[in-house]
């Protein structure tokens, strides 16, 4: 068997020799699997078949740490560390840190992408973190703008639990992992001076994180950070208001101008739902921008309803909105101003005739219309007024019938209640003479008694003859809870 293997090796058939050595390892005397394998690997290296040589190392060296380290250095001498790096064992056996650091340094000098992949793939305890960090920093002095190197350094800082430095690098690179890093390692206290960068990186994620952590990152800090970026202020305060309308009440005055600047559609709902902005400043802002609907609302809220109504009629020329505003305020003088303003505007009169009937007597409006004034749809408007009047009368009649029915029903119930017997306990005393109403044997009552609805009880003889219909105690206190009802019991 040794002769066969020797013949294969003499004729450069190392693969067959190795296969035979593995199959007959127990019968070999002059050869062994390791020697045949090493000779085969040397042959492949001499022929510059480095990939095949590296792939063969695992089956030849197995778990022998010393052999692995010896051959890694051989590959290093021939500058082929990249070729053997995928086959190097990481756990069983685990080589010395110097070996892994040597490979990493080779990649750092020649292949930054490969270096980054190894840093992310290899366990951090294979090498000395500080040594590799120092090496990366030195390389960065040569390539200060290399993003791969910076990202790798950020990963190394993260492995070393120096999350603030990792965070700063990720933010500089605009790396999306920054939000995961903040949440995972609770770095909210470390981002309070980096909020603008977070918004520029991903506004949606940044806003969600800030709104959910107001107790950690106070609103005052956020608003101050965004001072030079008013759109970020708008986005942040709007998100807070949507989640909790009262949470940012100290900044509602600022929100008025921000909504006016960036999203007018949200301004009026905000004005309606907040009570924490200064009305005068909000009014000045809306007047400056000629925001008529918002100005009308603020004037109404401030009580200046006449000016608000005039603004609707003159500024907007919208009779329907003017009528709606008058309905909301429910002010007779406001209706009178609206009617007066509409006298020379047929279109306004048509709107009033169609909508005023349930709020103001339409006769008042009709009497004030000038003779000869042409009003489009007047006949239809008058018909609608009559129909509304008939409907009101029908409703009133219906309500009257219901009220009368309820009155009779309640009166009947009251009458039945008043006819019921009233209980008088045996220990009860006369509210005038304070004697017992019932004798000690409580078998009979010595004299008739009078019980009033106020629950005062008297002997009949104790009441003055001229006043048997009202309780003299309640009468003396100027209270008349009800007419007296006497019940004589013998």
What string of DSSP letters covers 154-169? HHHHHHTT-HHHHHHH
Pairwise CA distance, residues 40 & 3, whole Å: 17
- Give dist(CA 12, CA 375) in Å, integer: 115
* Cβ-contact 137, 112 below 8 angstroms: no
Residues near 297 by beta carbon (within 8 Å), at least 6 away in sequence: 268, 271, 272, 308
Distance CA 403, CA 382 (A): 31
**SS3 (DSSP) at 385:** helix
149 Cβ neighbours under 8 A, 6+ residues apart: 112, 136, 139, 140, 143
3-state secondary structure of 442: coil
Distance CA 61, CA 147 (A): 38
**Distance separating alpha carbons of residues 155 and 170, to the nearest angstrom:** 9
Nearest-angstrom CA–CA distance, 68 and 5? 25
Q: pLDDT, tens digit, for every residue of 274-302?
A: 999 999 999 999 999 999 889 989 998 99
Q: DSSP E strands: which ranges in 95-224?
A: none
CA atoms within 13 A on the CB side of 41: 23
pLDDT at residue 359, as a whole number: 63
Quick one: tokens of 389? 């009047």
Q: Alpha carbon 383 to chain centroid distance?
A: 52
Please report the pLDDT score of residue 30 as a whole number.
Answer: 64
Region of 482 (left: φ > 0; alpha: ψ -120 to 50; beta: rest) is left
Pairing of strands 449-451, 457-459: antiparallel
What pLDDT does residue 318 have?
A: 75
How far out from the chain centre does Cα 49 lie?
Answer: 62
The DSSP element (H or E) to which 21 belongs, if any, is helix 14-23
Residue-level pLDDT at 177: 76
Give the distance, in angstroms, between the CA of residue 466 and the centroid of all CA atoms in the same chain: 76
The residue among 334, 291, 337, 335 whose CA lies nearest residue 315 is: 291
Rounded average pLDDT per 10-residue block, the chain, 490 residues:
61 65 59 71 84 85 87 90 90 90 93 92 91 92 89 89 85 82 84 88 91 92 94 95 91 95 94 93 93 90 86 78 78 77 71 66 69 69 75 86 91 82 80 78 66 82 72 68 40
For residue 83, give every residue at least 6 positions away whose Cβ sits within 8 Å of its Cβ, in sequence order, or none. Answer: 50, 51, 53, 54, 75
Asked if 329 contacts 300 with a C-beta cutoff of 8 angstroms, the reply is yes
Structure tokens at 215: 């107790």
pLDDT at 287: 92
């Amino acid at each position: 068997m040794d002769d066969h293997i020797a013949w294969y090796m003499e004729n450069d058939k190392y693969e067959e020799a190795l296969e035979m050595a593995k199959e007959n390892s127990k019968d070999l005397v002059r050869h062994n699997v390791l020697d045949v394998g090493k000779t085969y690997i040397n042959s492949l290296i001499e022929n510059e078949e480095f990939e095949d040589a590296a792939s063969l190392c695992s089956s030849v060296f197995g778990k022998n740490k010393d052999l692995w380290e010896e051959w890694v250095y051989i590959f290093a001498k021939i500058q082929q560390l990249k070729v053997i790096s995928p086959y190097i064992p990481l756990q069983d056996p685990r080589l010395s840190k110097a070996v892994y650091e040597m490979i990493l340094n080779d990649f750092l000098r020649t292949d930054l992408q490969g270096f980054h992949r190894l840093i992310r793939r290899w366990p951090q305890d294979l090498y000395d973190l500080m040594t590799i960090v120092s090496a990366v920093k030195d390389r960065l002095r040569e390539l200060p703008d290399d993003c791969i190197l910076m990202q790798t350094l950020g990963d190394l800082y993260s492995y070393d639990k120096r999350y603030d430095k990792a965070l700063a690098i990720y933010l500089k690179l605009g790396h999306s992992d920054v939000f995961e890093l903040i949440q995972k390692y609770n770095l909210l206290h470390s981002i309070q001076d980096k909020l603008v960068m977070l918004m520029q990186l991903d506004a949606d994620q940044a806003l969600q994180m800030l709104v959910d952590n107001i107790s950690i990152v106070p609103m005052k800090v956020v608003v101050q950070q965004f001072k030079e970026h008013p759109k970020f202020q708008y986005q942040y305060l709007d998100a807070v208001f949507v989640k909790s309308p009262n949470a940012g009440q100290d900044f509602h005055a600022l929100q008025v101008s921000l909504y006016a600047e960036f999203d007018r559609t949200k301004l009026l709902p905000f004005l309606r739902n907040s009570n924490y902005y200064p009305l005068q400043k909000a009014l000045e802002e809306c007047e400056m921008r000629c925001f008529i609907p918002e100005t009308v609302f603020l004037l109404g809220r401030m009580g200046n309803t006449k000016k608000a109504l005039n603004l609707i009629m003159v500024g907007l020329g919208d009779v329907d909105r003017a009528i709606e505003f008058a309905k909301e305020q429910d002010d007779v003088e406001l209706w009178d101003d609206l009617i007066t303003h509409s006298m020379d505007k047929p279109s306004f009169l048509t709107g009033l005739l169609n909508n005023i009937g349930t709020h103001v007597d339409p006769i008042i409006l009709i009497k004030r219309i000038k003779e000869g004034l042409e009003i489009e749809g007047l006949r239809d408007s008058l018909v609608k007024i009559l129909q509304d009047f008939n409907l009101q009368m029908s409703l009133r009649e219906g309500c009257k019938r219901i009220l009368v029915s309820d009155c009779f029903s309640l009166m009947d119930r009251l009458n039945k209640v008043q006819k019921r017997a009233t209980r008088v306990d045996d220990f009860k005393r006369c509210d005038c003479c304070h004697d017992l109403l019932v004798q000690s044997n409580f078998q009979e009552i010595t004299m008739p008694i009078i019980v009033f609805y106020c629950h005062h009880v008297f002997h009949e003889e104790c009441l003055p003859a001229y006043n048997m219909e009202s309780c003299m105690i309640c009468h003396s206190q100027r209270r008349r809870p009800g007419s007296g009802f006497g019940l004589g019991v013998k």
